[in-house]
Amino acid sequence: DVKVTQSSRYLVKRTGEKVFLECVQDMDHENMFWYRQDPGLGLRLIYFSYDVKMKEKGDIPEGYSVSREKKERFSLILESASTNQTSMYLCASRVSTGNYEQYFGPGTRLTVT
């Protein structure tokens, strides 16, 4: 079974803090994705990576950055957390750029106070 894990299920941070969300997949997938999920908005793509050290902006990259130094790990970074970044963050991975299934982690619910 493909497994995508995220470092924390729940996280509480203060405004202005630097926040790291980590995602690890164990199936040697090339592509990895970060989404945020908000009620009534579905999932929105923040950033994705199609290979190691490669990244592409998604639909809502402002206020976020990413890092992919190893194939199995994809990190989302909030340089200076703000209250409007309070959300559920979901990581996913996929085998290639074809129309293949994305496998999702359990999510990290981040609260910024």
Partner 1 sequence: AQSVTQLDSHVSVSEGTPVLLRCNYSSSYSPSLFWYVQHPNKGLQLLLKYTSAATLVKGINGFEAEFKKSETSFHLTKPSAHMSDAAEYFCVVSDRGGYNKLIFGAGTRLAVHP
Q: Which is nearer to partner 1, 25 or 75 (CB)?
A: 25
8: left (phi over 0), alpha (psi -120 to 50) or beta: beta
Supply the Cα-derived Rg of the chain in whole angstroms: 13
Q: State how far the alpha carbon of 95 is from the alpha carbons of 28, 30, 59, in Å.
A: 8, 6, 21
Q: Tell whether residue 104 is a contact of partner 1 (CB under 8 A).
A: yes
Give the nearest distance from C-beta 80 to partner 1 in angstroms: 27
For 67, counting Cβ atoms within 10 Å of its Cβ (0-12 exposed, 13-18 middle, 19+ buried), the class is middle
| Position among 25, 75, 93, 102 found at the interface with partner 1 (CB under 8 A) | 102
Residue position matching structure tokens 């996913």: 92
Q: Tell whether residue 2 is a contact of partner 1 (CB under 8 A).
A: no
Site string for partner 1, 14-53 (x = CB under 8 A): -----------------x---x----xxxxxx--x-x---
Q: Tell whether residue 107 is a contact of partner 1 (CB under 8 A).
A: yes
Residues that bind partner 1 (CB under 8 A): 4, 31, 35, 40-45, 48, 50, 56, 58, 90, 92, 97-99, 101-102, 104-107
